[in-house]
Amino acid sequence: MKENNTYHEGMEANNLPDSLRVNPFDVPEGYFKDLHESLISQAKLESLQKKNLDVPVGYFEKLQQNILSKVSEEKLKDQVKTDGFSHPDHYFSSLQNDILIKVAEDNLKSKVTQDGFVTPSLYFNEFNDQLSAKITTDNLRQIVSTDGFEAPKGYFEALNATITKTIRADLDLDIPVETSTVRSIKRKISWNKYAVAASLAAVLSIGGYFGIQNNNVQDEQKNLSHVSDQEIINYLAQTGNSDDLLYVAKYIDDEDIVGTNSKVKDEDIEDYLKYTL
């Protein structure tokens, strides 16, 4: 921009010629346009320069040491490129998922503190014995895997036939399949036999016992005469073994109660008494 009328003040006679009245100064193009920004930038620059003049306390004292340290560090980095640590493959790709699982697990643990399983009583007390038995068993199985027994050829086929034949005979004799209590005896034995067997056993037992004490049989018979058969049966039922009753009963026939002693050996009676008393 050029100003033509700067000195025009109405004093035409005294005025300089128009050629001299033109402003001789000029500014670069866009000067005023950029002036504002230029001034602000300059101000900022000066402000920064002022600040940079300050250095931290002891900066220069430590500068040499710091530079040397930096040099050493760079040297070391050149020699040892990595720290030697590594991580499993895909560690970082699965890390987020792993963390989420861990969080879920922690939540679950806070809600369910125990698994609810229990062991049988004394399990851990018996554990050593059981383990030792297991080891010995396994060792034994290496040597002996089967029992070594054998059955005759065709035995099992014949067994079926034999049993079926016996059962058919039962059916022919009209021996019914029992539908009441289960008893572990082959032959149908009446309660009379039990009662007789029990009485006999009781008489023999008690008689034998008192006989050893004072040999006065007459007195024992008197004492026993006061004991009812039912009491003797009850006594045997509480203290004896039913197998023994069955064994005694086996040697007694209904019609041969008196002759029992002829079928039962003395040694057997002694064994029986030893076993029951």
Partner 1 sequence: MEDALIISKFANESTREEAFNHLLTKYQQKIYWHVRRMVIDHDDADDVVQDIFIKVWRNLANFREDSQLYTWLYRIATNECITFLNKKKLKQNVSLDDDSSAYLADSLSSGSYFSGDKAQMKLQQALLTLPEKQKLVFNMKYFDDMKYDEISQVLGTSVGALKASYHLAVKKIEAFFHNND
Q: Does 118 bind partner 1 (CB under 8 A)?
A: no
Q: Does 95 bind partner 1 (CB under 8 A)?
A: no
Query: Measured over all CA atoms, what is the biggest interatomic distance in the chain, rounded to whole angstroms?
Result: 191
Residue with smaller CB distance to partner 1, 74 or 147: 147
HEC string of 192-236? HHHHHHHHHHHHHHHHHHHHHHHCCHHHHHHHHHCCCHHHHHHHH
The angle, 0 to 180 degrees and rounded to 10, between the axes of the packed helices 229-239 and 191-214 is 90
Q: Does 150 bind partner 1 (CB under 8 A)?
A: yes
Q: Which of 192, 203, 188, 183 is nearest to 243 (CA)?
A: 183
Q: Does 190 bind partner 1 (CB under 8 A)?
A: no
Q: Does 178 bind partner 1 (CB under 8 A)?
A: yes
- Residues 223-252, one symbol each (x = binds partner 1 by CB under 8 A, - = not), give --------------------x--xx-----
Pairwise CA distance, residues 97 & 60, whole Å: 51
Q: How far is the CB of 258 from partner 1 (least distance, A)?
A: 23
The footprint of partner 1 on this chain (CB under 8 A) covers a number of residues equal to 49
CA atoms within 13 A on the CB side of 207: 14
Q: Does 162 bind partner 1 (CB under 8 A)?
A: yes
Q: Does 6 bind partner 1 (CB under 8 A)?
A: no
Q: Does 160 bind partner 1 (CB under 8 A)?
A: yes
Chain centroid to Cα 13, Å, comes to: 122
Q: Does 119 bind partner 1 (CB under 8 A)?
A: no
Q: Does 154 bind partner 1 (CB under 8 A)?
A: no
Our CA angle for 255, 256, 262, nearest 5°, is: 165
Residue with smaller CB distance to partner 1, 3 or 267: 267
Q: Does 268 bind partner 1 (CB under 8 A)?
A: yes
Two tokens, residue 126: 């018996």
Residue with smaller CB distance to partner 1, 87 or 274: 274
Q: Which of 194, 196, 208, 195 is nearest to 277 (CA)?
A: 208
According to DSSP, residue 187 is labeled S
Our CA angle for 38, 44, 48, nearest 5°, is: 145
What residues line the site for partner 1 (CB under 8 A)?
120-122, 126, 129-130, 132-133, 136-137, 140-141, 143-144, 146-152, 155-156, 159-160, 162-164, 166-167, 170, 175, 177-184, 186, 243, 246-247, 267-268, 271, 274-275
